[in-house]
Amino acid sequence: MLRHRIAFSLVSALCLAAVLSAEPLTFQLDPQATKIEFTFGATLHTVDGTLRAKEGTVRVDPEAGTATGRIVLDATSARTGNDRRDRKMHEKILESQRYPEMVFEIERLSGKLNSLGQSEIELHGTLEMHGTRRPIALPATVFSNDGKTVTGTGTLILSYLDWGLADPSFFILRVEKEVRVTVKAAGRISTASP
């Protein structure tokens, strides 16, 4: 009899876990633990820089495969480690006083999001930068070992001219027209209340 009760309890717990894993989830970005890196080539060297995240919330329905939300980046925080170059980047390229934020509006998700372990997903949506909106897809590897905290890494290549940013090339300095952006995000997952 005791064995039947234990077996029943185990089956019930597994069924409950399966139901819970199908519940809609909310991901709350931790801006302090999130890092955005960018890199692009220029004549005789490569430029590496960073940006900070301001905020982000993504709502996911794993069963329906849907996602909505937004991630906001602080354009004024962009740094490459060279004060003169950074000043020019903010004044003439990003115009960050006029356009202080970059916003990724998430519209859907593809791939399977697992409640535990590793998932390979792609977030689809619109990136607003420098006053221009363009569709993008961010492939990401997401990991959770406890179902509460999540880390994710995604990389994409952006042609900054598509968003109306000026080409910083001049005279003999040539700058690549594409920027490699790597997002290293961290945050917490919560389930929707019943």
Which structural domains are found in the chain, ordered by start? Answer: 23-191 (2.40.128.110)
Q: What is the pLDDT of residue 191?
A: 82
Strand partners, 135: 126
Predicted pLDDT of residue 171? 63
CA 63 to CA 61: how far, in whole Å? Answer: 6
pLDDT at 23: 82
Residue 22 DSSP SS3: coil
| pLDDT score recorded for residue 192 | 61
| CA 92/CA 105 separation, integer angstroms | 25
- Do residues 20 and 11 touch, judged by C-beta distance below 8 A? no
- Strand ranges in the chain using DSSP code E only, listed in sequence order: 25-29, 35-42, 45-61, 66-79, 101-111, 117-129, 132-144, 149-159, 178-191
Please, what is the end-to-end C-alpha distance for the chain in angstroms?
33
Tokens of 133: 């909106």
Amino acid present at 26? T
Averages of pLDDT over runs of 10 residues in the chain (194 residues) are: 41 36 85 95 87 96 86 97 93 95 95 89 96 96 93 95 86 81 95 58
Question: Alpha-carbon distance 128 to 138, whole Å?
Answer: 14
How many Å is the Cα radius of gyration of the chain? 21
- Residue indicated by tokens 């809609």: 24
